[in-house]
Each structure stands twice: as C-alpha cells, then as structure tokens.
Amino acid sequence: MKPTLLVLAAGMGSRYGGLKQMDGVGPNGEIIMDYSITDAIRAGFGKVVFVIRHSFENEFKAKINAEHFHNQIEVEYVFQELDYLPVGFTVPEGREKPWGTNHAILMAKDVIQEPFAIINADDFYGRDAFQVMADYLKTLGDTKGQYCMVGYKLENTLSENGTVSRGVCETNAEGLLVGMTERTSIGRTSNGIEYKDADGSMHPLSADATVSMNLFGFTPDYFGESEKLFVDFLKEHGTEMKSEYYIPFAVNTFINSGYATMRVLRTSAQWFGVTYKEDRPMVVERLKKLHDQGVY
C-alpha cells in the first residue's frame, strides 16, 4: 500500500507576506512544493492531497500545475475554512483565523484511507526525510496508533535572520517520543544556540537536539481520534478569538493517554524554509546548488 502525502497549504504566511508557498525560488521558477512532491514520488508515495482555501484555489492550482505530476502521482484538493466545524459548533463573532494545523488535517478525512505523512507547504524537508518516512509508513498496514515523525537536528533548522520556534523532542531508549516541548525565540548567540523563556531568560539548547518540523506520519485512525479531541478542544476554547488546535497538542494527548506511540525517525537532511523575507536569497542559493549537484 502506497502512503499519501498531505500538504498543509492553507496558511497565508503572515510574517513573510502574501502566499509565500507560491514564491518561485528554484532556478526555473520552481516553488518549494515542487521539490516536496518530487521527493515524495521518488520515495514511493502514491497520492498527494493539498489543504488549501477557496479564496486562492485558482491561483494555487495554476501554480502547482498538477498536470506536471499527473502521470506520476494522484492529486486531490481539500479545503480548510473557518466554519468547517463539528455539528453543534459555530464560529465566534469576530474570529478571522482558522483553527490550526490539526484542524487542517481533519479536512482530508474523506479522501485518505491509507497511512499518510503531513508537511508544511512552504518548508523544504530534503530527499532523505521523505524516504525515511515512506519506508516506515509502508510497514504499518492496518495498524492503529503507531505514529511516527521525522526528527531533525536543531542546528539544521535555524534561520540566520531571526529567531524561530521549534518543538523539542524527548525520546526513550526505544526511540519513541515521550514528549514535545515548544521552545520559542531560538537563535544563535555568542554562547551557542539558546532560547528565551516567558520571563525573558536565556537557556542553552544542544545543536544535536531533536526537533519537529511538522513532518509527521499517521494511520487513518488518526482522523477519528482527532475529531473527538477537537470537540473537547472547542468546548474549552471554542469562544476564544485566536485559539488553535495544533498537531503537537493532539500528539501529546494521544501519547499521554496511552492510545498511541510515536516513533522518532532521524534524518541527516537539512531543513530550510522562508520564515523571514530575508531567508529567500539563502533558499534560492541552496536550491541552485542542489540543481548544480544533479539532485534535481
């Protein structure tokens, strides 16, 4: 059974400005998603599903040019909108922001019946990361609750143009995730790599620390479990203007309850993305180098 790739592309990239996932950063105008789909095809994924918004559907489909991949992988689209909520819930007046990454995943529940991986549309994950993920997903079959994620070395995920937030992972002796702690304001300082806590104090982080870049792997039971958890989330936070139902929240809940395990798959790949506008030249340079090396 070939796994599916679910691409979270509904975000508007507020820090970068505009639809950053539409920016042509490759030598021939390729967007970052072109590389992700290419790597997914090479790794053995059989379908790609894009989570988008109706407001930019036509622009997105024109830029993706699904015909280019038509003979290599099945392509589908689903939509994340503010009012796509479980029965009995409504959008609070004045709320403008969607409900987060795990809400986006739920939009694909009717089109995915096989093990699947999820990625952010505007991040470059590297060929090895897709291969490691596909190889694991192909072993899962009809199992439930045996999830996985690709863990990156922290030093391979930083921006030179500002601080970043990362989910720092703790694993046990079996390579399973014990917990994920969101650290904010991470950057290089004269003391190495540090993050700033809520009090403004700086704390060191190891360059080899394993971090999540939202490259997760799930089996289809994840949809049903996530939907039940989303109902609980809305009961508690549904009237808030900016509450978001994030993937790490759901993952931690399922692990802590004993329902699921999450295997951390390590990769040597270099992650990069356009977190800040100033990151763009670096991304362009790295992609050109990969083309020059014959990787793409």
| CATH numbers and ranges of domains, the chain | 4-292 (3.90.550.10)
Tens of pLDDT, residue by residue, the chain (296 residues): 899 999 999 874 444 445 555 678 999 988 889 999 999 999 999 999 999 988 888 878 877 766 677 788 999 999 999 899 999 899 999 888 889 999 999 999 999 999 999 999 889 999 999 999 999 999 998 999 999 999 999 999 998 889 998 989 999 999 999 888 889 899 999 999 999 988 899 999 999 999 999 899 999 999 999 999 999 999 999 999 888 998 988 998 999 999 999 999 999 899 998 777 888 899 999 999 999 999 99
Pick from 107, 98, 111, 138: nearest CA to 241: 98
Per-residue model confidence (pLDDT) at position 198? 85
Per-residue model confidence (pLDDT) at position 185? 93
Phi-psi region of 29 (alpha: psi -120 to 50; beta: other; left: phi over 0): left
Per-residue model confidence (pLDDT) at position 135? 97
Determine if the pTM surpasses 0.75: yes
H or E stretch including 285? Answer: helix 280-292
Angle between helices 32-43 and 127-137 (to 10 degrees): 40
Residue type, 217: G
Per-residue model confidence (pLDDT) at position 275? 76
Secondary structure letter of residue 278 according to DSSP: G
**How deeply is 114 buried, as exposed, middle or buried, from its count of CB atoms within 10 A (0-12, 13-18, 19+)?**
middle
